[in-house]
Structure 1
């Protein structure tokens, strides 16, 4: 199973193929905001993928449209509720201070 690691905390979780970054965050005990309930209607679960970007599902139009509204948009930006893990490990950075303790 692939492992998803969250920075800056360093917490990680092994997840099943097809799990979203949001699911992995919940499994790892990392609180990743998702105000819309994980349906790509907001950008609160915006993350930067530090490693393993090619192992994630492709960006669909709805996610791409929403990402354009995200603060701190970067080439490695994804919505945690929409990006699903394939077979490789992934390292995720949560921008700013959006990790709840």
Structure 2
């Protein structure tokens, strides 16, 4: 079972392959905004995948389009609602504020 490490809180949790990063963060009690209900429309759940980028799903065209509209994104930027876990451990930095 893959492990998710969350910064800056330092929490680590077991996650389910195929589950979304947004669901895992909310289950862990992280304060992350998702105004669109996981549809990749608002961009509020923007995070950085710090380690384990090969262990998560590839970016969808919709996610790429949304991230292009957000200032300050980079190669580690993802929308938590669109990231699905693979078999590898992942470390993310939560950027959204509620």
TM range (shorter): over 0.9
TM-score with structure 1 length normalisation?
A: 0.90
Aligned length: 98
Q: Residue in 1 aligned with 2:82? A: 82
Matched ranges for 1:1-101 at <5 A:
1-95=1-95, 98-100=96-98
Tell me which stretches of 4 or more aligned residues in structure 1 moved more than 3 Å: none
Supply the distance in 1 between the matched residues of 2:31 and 2:80 (Cα, whole angstroms): 11
Partner of 2:86, secondary structure, is coil
Can you give the 5+ residue segments of structure 2 that lack an aligned partner in the other structure? none
Supply the distance in 1 between the matched residues of 2:30 and 2:83 (Cα, whole angstroms): 16
Contact 1:46 1:94 in 2 (8 A): yes
Deviations 1:27-84 (A, max 9, x none): 2111211111111111100000110001110111001100111232011110000011
Contact 1:47 1:92 in 2 (8 A): yes
Can you give the 5+ residue segments of structure 1 that lack an aligned partner in the other structure? none
Contact 1:30 1:99 in 2 (8 A): no
Partner of 2:6, secondary structure, is strand
Give the superposed CA RMSD.
1.2
